[in-house]
Amino acid sequence: MGCVGSRELGMEEKCIVNSERGLGFYNVKAEELDAAFRKYNSNGYLTQSQLIHISNKFSIRILNYGHHMHIQSFFSSLKANENNYSLKDILLIAIMLGKGNSETKAKLIYELFDTEYSHQLTIQVVKKEILTRMVIHSSRTLPNLVCSEMAEPELEMKIHKFKLKFHDFVDNAIDELALKLTVRGKIISEDTFVEVFSTYYNGELVSPSGIRKFLSSLRGKQKIKSSDRSTVESQLVHEEVEKIE
């Protein structure tokens, strides 16, 4: 089995990261991936032959191998139609998984969606096009790479529950990130986007693992709030009982 290791990351997260590494993006600089995908695409779409060309150029895995048996279904999920893949979805994931510092990755991500080179995107566009994709791909699409060949049944089930735990916090994460981005207004410049994503949460949010960690922290905060609320309610009930007595 491919997923063994420390509790430092958590077994579930460690297994997801191992499955992500199986794609091969980790070995390539984000700038190089960006340049290649932008060069070999047709109006925002990638054909199978273009994807094969890029995979050969960088030794990216697009076919199942070894313990990594969900790679082909992963890429199929990124198809925009029967014959073509979505450039934005594949390149966003490639940038987030590729080598590079948070500032560089944030810049590349913004430019991917700033198709008219305006350097001025509305917060509605940023939320719908960028933030939603970043959170969904990190918490749902990429964890689907984990398969039974690389994880014990018990761990595979835990990873399934791991994904479900994030489900209720996707909107919260998007809203909180949008709040950070709109400190200077609802028009988000490239500079603002890069500044926020290279500093907030220690610059970790340009990686899928960082996004999942962020979602886990939001879930943890919600648990604390619920616990505090229960404590307050219990105290109020206790006080009411004392009054009656």
Q: List pLDDT tens digits, range 109-146.
A: 999 999 999 999 999 999 999 999 999 999 999 999 99
What is the model's pLDDT at position 74? 97
Question: Domain extents for the chain?
Answer: 11-244
Q: What pLDDT was estimated at residue 70?
A: 96
Q: Is 170 in contact with 69 (CB distance < 8 Å)?
A: no
Residues in the chain: 245
Partners of 99 in the β-ladder:
29
Predicted confidence at residue 235, as pLDDT, reads 54
pTM over 0.85: yes
Return d(Cα 222, Cα 199) in angstroms, integer: 24
Predicted confidence at residue 6, as pLDDT, reads 38
- Of 57-66, 149-158, 171-180, 228-237, the poorest mean pLDDT is in 228-237
Share of the chain above pLDDT 70, in %: 87
The values of phi and psi at residue 59, to 5°, are: 60, 40
* Whether pLDDT at 219 is above 90: no
Question: Could you tell me if 169 and 39 are in contact, meaning their C-beta atoms sit under 8 angstroms apart?
Answer: no
- Of the candidate ranges 93-97, 135-139, 151-155, the one whose mean pLDDT is the lowest: 151-155
Q: Average pLDDT for residues 217-229, to the nearest whole number?
A: 67
Interval 44-92: pLDDT, tens: 999 999 999 999 999 999 999 999 999 999 999 999 999 999 999 999 9
Q: Is the pLDDT of residue 225 over 90?
A: no
